[in-house]
Amino acid sequence: MRALDRVERLLGQLYGKHEGTMAFERIRPLMASAAKRLPPSTTERLPDEKEIVLITYADTLRQPQQPPLSTFYTFAQRYLKQTVSTIHFLPFFPFSSDDGFSVIDYMQIDPAVGSWDDVHAFKADFRLMLDWVINHISAQSPWFDAYLAAEPGYQRLAIEVDAAEDLSMVTRPRSLPLLTPYKKKDGRLVRLWTTFSADQIDLNFRSIDVLVDMVRVMLAYVEHGADILRLDAIAYLWKEIGTTCIHLPQTHMMVKLFRAILDAIAPHVLLITETNVPHRENISYFGDAGDEAQIVYNFSLPPLLLHCILTEDVGYLRRWAKTLVLPDRRTTFLNFTASHDGIGVRPLEGIIPSEEIDKLVTVVMANGGAVSYKQNPDGTESPYELNITYVDALRGDGAGGDAMHARRFLATQSIALVLPGVPAIYIHSLLGSRNWDEGVRMTGRARTINRAKLDMNDLVRRIENPETFRYKVFSAYRTMIEVRSAQPAFHPKAEFDVLEVDRRVFAMARQGGGQRLIALTNIASDDVTVDVGMLAAGPTRDLISKRVFAPGVVTMKPYDVLWLTPA
């Protein structure tokens, strides 16, 4: 079926024949207009082994008298051109709260960080991944003001709920109230659906006015050069009282709709869904035979990696990794260990026992972190995410400092690089950033601990000084990434086999493009001996260190990483 026909069919399924036709007649000219301004694109883009995503806020790096986007461009030109292929800018639009995720104006760049021209400059050397904050808008946005005034086209922007409604079944990612009272311009008090905070008004996608406006936003991002669109909090998009209001069939149809629109005019643009939920729910966003998102986050990976290295046992991680089978050649995983948010623990449900999650909470608290909670249907609370930098989550307690800290951290990152899929690296992981306690004191928010703002001149001095912790992480991490990008066996679609060699070693065979290699990571604090005879009868060579090993067994030092090929 042609993509345009799919668009019309999906609109009919979502809104019924009459409203679906009205929506199609409004969306089709938007698509035609955008298509005229876009370069011809007839084929979809499939990521390869060179696809490496860097996740960052636009204002992570700062210099006096310079827009942060311009500062980051200077840093990227100097240090990242040979390392990453794609830069994911977290929301850089005018906002009122939540570090950008409460958007006031979708179409403008926040003047405090730069302009669209600053964003376009990156396109010469990098692909762009942009955040589409689709579930909610800021209570300070002009759209919400128009809703309060009941202006035409905005009367149904928000979701009004009677206070008597039973909302006990609704899945909550926060422990805040679900409904927030607002007074409209006519004096009427309404209670509005606010999944994440009182300042973040959930959009009512039952309204085709809302849908058309948001499609207009999506197409604008594509015109500005987005190669990947991240659908933020997409799982909560459609609400149906009497249900959990997460992963509803209408939400999945909406993702299919966005995909069909892009397939029609910009098939090179990929969709990635942000769904911090258990693994089985997460991968449902690949859709039927890959007709939804081309990429989903591997949300179970960060807490599983943390668990395996703290327990020095890869058992749970190994069993989970064996399930990473994709439904379609066009789909893949985004493998990450850290992001601007905390380390989600819901994705561990069904993978490790709940008491093991409690152990992670204990370690994170001991290492200077915090825990954010969600509200359960019975009124109780349970851990939702761990707020800490991934670097400090792996901190040891040795007297006078932890000599193995950098090596332990890099071992976890190496595993994310060898799994099938596309690696995504948070800027503060690449830079070896520690807990930003000062930021938490300033904002009063636990998530700020992993969102530090850095002086670029000071940062450059540290990443170029071999005596610093930042240098030890940054230089070794970049080397791993650059070596990885040159190996066809790490193509997202290359064959993989999770090997069982030792409970302390994560071992994976990858094969593709005429290359076969075995990736080994010792996640323990002791030496481990591994037989690599399954790879080659003769000597083997490590792609990272260039060392050559005699046939048979190799001895791995604590937190050693070896990517072995026949020598």
Catalytic residues: 232
- Cβ neighbors of 462 (< 8 A, separation 6 or more) are 468, 470, 471
Q: Which of 342, 380, 377, 375 is nearest to 361 (CA)?
A: 342
- C-alpha 506, offset from chain centre: 23
Cα distance between residue 260 and residue 292, in whole Å: 9
Q: Which of 95, 107, 136, 109 is nearest to 221 (CA)?
A: 107
CB 560 within 8 A of CB 530: no
Reported in sequence order, the residue ranges of 260-330 that DSSP labels E, i.e. its strands, are 270-273, 295-297
Cα distance between residue 138 and residue 157, in whole Å: 12
CB 314 within 8 A of CB 504: yes
Q: List the strands of the sheet with 515-522, edge to edge.
A: 495-502, 505-512, 515-522, 561-566, 540-542, 548-549
Q: Could you identify the residue written with the tokens 């994560």?
A: 506
Query: How would you classify residue 158: left for phi > 0, otherwise alpha for psi between -120 and 50, otherwise beta?
Result: beta
Q: Is 203 helix (H, G, I), strand (E, B) or coil?
A: strand
Residue-wise burial string across 526-538, b where 16 or more C-beta atoms lie within 10 A, e elsewhere: eebebebeebbee
Eight-state DSSP code of residue 197 = B
